[in-house]
Amino acid sequence: MSESKDTNEEDILAINTIRTLAMDAVQAANSGHPGTPMALAPVAYCLWQRYLRFDPKDCIWPNRDRFVLSNGHASMLLYSLLHLTGVQAVNEKYESVGEPSVTLDDIKKFRQLESKCPGHPEYRWTSGIETTTGPLGQGVSNSVGMAIGSRWMSSYFNRPGFDMIDYNVYAICGDGDMMEGVSSEAASIAGHLKLSNLCWIYDNNHITIEGSTDLAFTEDIASRFLGYGWNVLRVGDANDLHLLSEAFETFHKTSDRPTFIIVDSHIGWGSPHKQGTSAAHGEPLGEEEIRLTKKNYGWPEDAKFLVPDEVQETFNKGIGKRGRTLREGWMEQFDRYKQEYPELADHLYKMQHRQLPDGFDQDFKPYPADPVGMATRTSNGEVLNVLAKNYPWLMGGAADLAPSTKTHLKFEGAGDFEPGSYNGRNFHFGIREHAMASILNGLSLSKVRPFGAGFFIFSDYCRPSIRLSALMEIPVVYLFTHDSIGVGEDGPTHQPVEQLASLRAIPGLTTIRPCDANEVLEAWKHIAEQKHEPVVMVLTRQNVPTLDRTKYGSAEGLHKGAYVLADCEGTPELIFIGTGSEVSLCLNAYEELTKEGVKCRVVSMPSWELFEKQDENYRNSVLPPNVTARISVEQASTFGWERYVGLQGRSIGMHTFGASAPLKELLKKYGFTPENLVKEAKDLLQVTYK
């Protein structure tokens, strides 16, 4: 490694320890990417050792700087740092468990079952990891949300003499991150918002799995980020700690825009003949190459997983001492803050522990019955505003669709989050659905409670980030309106058909499609209580009746996912199962069949996932196993409904894409009428009980 004027033997030893741990771990696993961690070791070392405000003994200290390894395939870079700096593990209750986050044995089990060092960094799995970074582009986009979170919290919590929140966010990224579209969306909005607390460090190594980036990526990346409104810097050698330090110092001095540092590196830096090859990027180096590389470092050639004692002491004198001093000073300040601003201190504590503010639900009121009713997007907007007024860190926005999704926060003081004015709670994401969802994840990881809105059809653009919300178990709220062919004249490009089935397939994600205003209200009661579960709420554009709950089952049944809405005496002959706008349709058919003497039941099933969490006795009480004549009704793909209607039941749904026509014509064309439901019911009863 070439030495810059402020590089000493301690630095070189620490950097080479990071490198050799990476190559040894990948070789032991016979799987992984050693090249990028080796090339970026000096960059990460310089940042962590000299600049990162982070206490390894308390890795969830609220005002710590955030570090995101967006090119997550280089995970051994992060695992090495977590081990060498002595990061301590915390549990789900935010308590230290008195053991290291990453031990040397964990590194030796890199990519193995139950190891704390999986193939890509996983949030909640390994303490000290700020976000899950596997899909490229997601990490840098999350970092924008983290930076927004810092800016909003600064405006809300900071008072004269009390800078409680002012952390910076650093993200290391690579060519893959730059090629993925989500990073472009996120960089654009970060530049617009002038997030000067955000720094991306771009590993410009000219190599991807297929070979040289010249195959597919020849744009002027510096000009691109200048166009986004970023401050662009360049470090010509990833090994030059002096130039790296100058770049980080410039970032700290920049107050009007985010910073993009282009760092030129050679992947797999070590044995000269191996540099820049795809083998070093995507597969183990091999024992012989490792020996040659270690020899080049002046390292014992046959030593494996060697961590010289003085390396951990070096980190303790740098990031350890600095982080400890900063955290202890912050905790002392927080004690004074509690005396001066007890309500804000209480909010900060509750927010960091994902607790609800006192009285968050004090203004909730049930909706009276109304045969005309309102669209669930409208009732959702009303409930959201009532809740957010008493829930100061609940905030969000839409992908340029707030007027249509009805998700704008309108109460006094809500305001807009804008460049240089960071106290607003309404975000304008522009037409950037994917970045919106990824930014929401970053906000949630900062402990803000975020929501994002759009048309349901465009949930496809959000899906990769929604999946990561579920994977990380963070309580992001996604609000999607225009939920069915009820969009009408807009036609099949805007009519979601397969999206419900697709989202229901994501483990750990709760999907709720409420049937009226009171189910919307109950849905928000459920959502507010969640600490580790993302929720998708699917809402209508068209009006739906507000059901008479003195006549039909209580909307509180939503909390169990499905409940008996209308029933008969004794055992029913037939059960209708509906969601959303189709529930009132089921009730119409139920009333007609009841007049004709048919014993019917209507089940509202707003959430499959919540229903599946109930015990067997409850599930059987709603859907008795001996009642096999069942009909599901939903303006979406019927895929999956067989689990509830059984082999003998029927599903009235969509088997094609929609069409462009007035709503009434579409409902008739696709069979969503009381007359068709009655016909299907009679046919099914004839088959079932003949």
Q: What is the pLDDT of residues 543-579, one digit of tens each?
A: 999 999 999 999 999 999 999 999 999 999 999 999 9
- Give the count of domains, the chain: 3
Cα angle: 57, vertex 263, 320; to 5 degrees: 15
Same domain flag for 522 and 580: no
Cβ burial of 547 (10 Å; 0-12, 13-18, 19+) is buried
Q: How far apart are CA 389 and CA 382, in angstroms?
A: 11
Q: How far apart are CA 628 and CA 631, in angstroms?
A: 9
* pLDDT digits 0-9 by tens, 31-75: 999 999 999 999 999 999 999 999 999 999 999 999 999 999 999
- 477's enclosing H/E stretch is strand 477-481
Residue 363 included in any domain: no
The answer to whether residues 364 and 521 touch, using CB atoms and an 8 Å cutoff, is yes
Last residue of a domain, one of 269, 297, 327: 327
* pLDDT digits 0-9 by tens, 325-376: 999 999 999 999 999 999 999 999 999 999 999 999 999 999 999 999 999 9
Positive or negative torsion for Cα 172, 177, 179, 185: negative
Structural tokens at position 461: 């653009």
What phi and psi, each to the nearest 5 degrees, are found at residue 137? 95, -25
Q: How far apart are CA 291 and CA 285, in angstroms?
A: 10
What phi and psi, each to the nearest 5 degrees, are found at residue 208? -130, -175
The pTM for the full model equals 0.96
Which long-range contacts does 345-354 make (Cβ < 8 Å, 24+ apart)?
347/156, 347/157, 347/392, 347/393, 348/62, 348/157, 348/164, 348/165, 351/393, 351/447, 351/448, 352/60, 352/62, 352/94, 352/447, 353/94, 354/447, 354/475, 354/531, 354/532
Structural tokens at position 420: 């240089």
- pLDDT-derived band of residue 207, with 50, 70 and 90 as boundaries? confident
**Is 665 considered catalytic here?**
no
- pLDDT-derived band of residue 466, with 50, 70 and 90 as boundaries? very high
**Is the pLDDT assigned to residue 223 strictly greater than 70?**
yes
Same domain flag for 88 and 132: yes
Which long-range contacts does 649-652 make (Cβ < 8 Å, 24+ apart)?
649/684, 650/680, 650/684, 652/676, 652/677, 652/680
- pLDDT-derived band of residue 272, with 50, 70 and 90 as boundaries? very low
- 156's enclosing H/E stretch is helix 138-157
* pLDDT digits 0-9 by tens, 389-430: 999 999 999 999 999 999 999 999 999 999 999 999 999 999
Mean pLDDT of 301-328: 97
- Averaged confidence pLDDT in the chain: 95
Same domain flag for 71 and 113: yes
* pLDDT digits 0-9 by tens, 499-554: 999 999 999 999 999 999 999 999 999 999 999 999 999 999 999 999 999 999 99
Same domain flag for 70 and 148: yes
Q: What is the pLDDT of residue 588?
A: 98
**Is the pLDDT assigned to residue 455 strictly greater than 60?**
yes
Structural tokens at position 90: 């915390």
Positive or negative torsion for Cα 421, 422, 425, 430: positive
Residue 342 included in any domain: no
Q: What is the pLDDT of residue 283?
A: 81
The answer to whether residues 306 and 29 touch, using CB atoms and an 8 Å cutoff, is no
Q: What is the pLDDT of residue 628?
A: 96
Structural tokens at position 620: 């059987």
Same domain flag for 459 and 513: yes
| Amino acid identity, position 628 | T
Q: How far apart are CA 682 and CA 399, in angstroms?
A: 45
Residue 521 included in any domain: yes
Per the model's pLDDT, the better-predicted residue between 403 and 7 turns out to be 403
**Is the pLDDT assigned to residue 268 strictly greater than 60?**
no
| Residues near 55 by beta carbon (within 8 Å), at least 6 away in sequence | 61, 64, 320, 323, 324, 326, 327
| Residues near 234 by beta carbon (within 8 Å), at least 6 away in sequence | 222, 261, 262, 263, 264
- pLDDT-derived band of residue 269, with 50, 70 and 90 as boundaries? very low
- 347's enclosing H/E stretch is helix 342-352
Mean pLDDT of 604-618: 98
Same domain flag for 605 and 470: no
Per the DSSP assignment, residues forming a β-bridge with 602 are: 566, 576
- pLDDT-derived band of residue 209, with 50, 70 and 90 as boundaries? confident
Q: What is the pLDDT of residue 563?
A: 98
- Report residue 434 CA to chain centroid gap: 11
The answer to whether residues 430 and 399 touch, using CB atoms and an 8 Å cutoff, is yes
| Domain of residue 534, CATH code | 3.40.50.970
- pLDDT-derived band of residue 96, with 50, 70 and 90 as boundaries? confident
**Is the pLDDT assigned to residue 97 strictly greater than 90?**
no
The answer to whether residues 438 and 183 touch, using CB atoms and an 8 Å cutoff, is no
Same domain flag for 627 and 492: no
**In the block, which residue shows the tokens 């000096």?**
42
Cβ burial of 647 (10 Å; 0-12, 13-18, 19+) is exposed
Q: How far apart are CA 640 and CA 642, in angstroms?
A: 5
Q: How many Cα neighbours within 13 Å face the side chain of 478? A: 38
Q: How far apart are CA 672 and CA 579, in angstroms?
A: 13
Q: How far apart are CA 448 and CA 146, in angstroms?
A: 9
Same domain flag for 87 and 140: yes
Among 433, 522, 573, 680, the one annotated catalytic: 433
What is the number of H-type helices and E-type strands within the chain? 26, 22
Residue 35 included in any domain: yes
Q: How far apart are CA 246 and CA 235, in angstroms?
A: 9
Residue 333 included in any domain: no
Q: What is the pLDDT of residue 94?
A: 83
The answer to whether residues 453 and 405 touch, using CB atoms and an 8 Å cutoff, is yes
Q: Above pLDDT 70, what percent of the chain?
A: 97
Structural tokens at position 429: 């994401």
Residue 163 included in any domain: yes
Mean pLDDT of 269-278: 42
Strands (DSSP E) contained in 86-197 are 88-90, 96-100, 169-173
Q: Helix 287-297 to helix 9-29 angle, to the nearest 10 degrees?
A: 180
Same domain flag for 614 and 646: yes
- pLDDT-derived band of residue 277, with 50, 70 and 90 as boundaries? very low
Last residue of a domain, one of 545, 568, 602: 545
| Domain enclosing residue 154, as ranges | 9-327
Last residue of a domain, one of 499, 524, 545: 545
The answer to whether residues 19 and 62 touch, using CB atoms and an 8 Å cutoff, is no
Residue 568 included in any domain: yes
**Is the pLDDT assigned to residue 630 strictly greater than 70?**
yes
- pLDDT-derived band of residue 214, with 50, 70 and 90 as boundaries? confident
Same domain flag for 518 and 565: no
Q: What is the pLDDT of residue 335?
A: 98
**Is the pLDDT assigned to residue 211 strictly greater than 90?**
no
The answer to whether residues 662 and 489 touch, using CB atoms and an 8 Å cutoff, is yes
**Is the pLDDT assigned to residue 193 strictly greater than 70?**
yes
Q: Which of 254, 258, 257, 275 is nearest to 266 (CA)?
A: 275
Residue 344 included in any domain: no
Q: What is the pLDDT of residue 282?
A: 67
Q: How far apart are CA 643 and CA 497, in angstroms?
A: 19
Q: What is the pLDDT of residue 212?
A: 87
Same domain flag for 449 and 584: no
Same domain flag for 131 and 269: yes
In this structure, of 174-178, 211-215, 242-246, 605-609, the range with the lowest mean pLDDT score is: 211-215
